[in-house]
Amino acid sequence: MNLEEAKARVAADTADLARLEAEVSRLAQAHAVPVFLAMMRALVEMVCAQHGPNFQHYYKRKLYEGVLEMLRQKGIT
């Protein structure tokens, strides 16, 4: 890959990212809570997957346990 090809790829990726962000923003305006929950879940999956398959479920379980505990402390059950 030469410099021009790299620049073209970066430009295409940048345009694709802008398209994806615009689509998520559009959906969030109409359906804020489901979009927020989907984004949070995707984030959890990405972060926990970085620890490898042996620890992925462990860290996800710990995260959700912590979230539920915080919600209980706020009176949300």
| Interval 52-77: pLDDT, tens | 888 899 999 999 999 999 999 999 98
Cβ-count burial 14-48 (b if 16+ within 10 Å, e if not): eeeeeeeeeeeeeeeeeeeeebeeeeeeeeeeeeb
Domain that holds residue 58: 32-77
Mark whether 40 and 73 lie in a shared domain: yes
Specify the DSSP class assigned to residue 77.
-
Mark whether 1 and 17 lie in a shared domain: yes
Mark whether 25 and 39 lie in a shared domain: no
Mark whether 36 and 68 lie in a shared domain: yes
| Interval 17-26: pLDDT, tens | 999 999 999 9
Contact between 19 and 30 under an 8 Å Cβ cutoff? The reply is no
pTM for the full model?
0.71
Provide the domain count of the chain.
2
pLDDT of residue 1: 83
In three-state secondary structure terms, 39 is helix
Q: State the DSSP H helix or E strand holding residue 72, giving kind and residue range, or none if neither.
A: helix 53-73
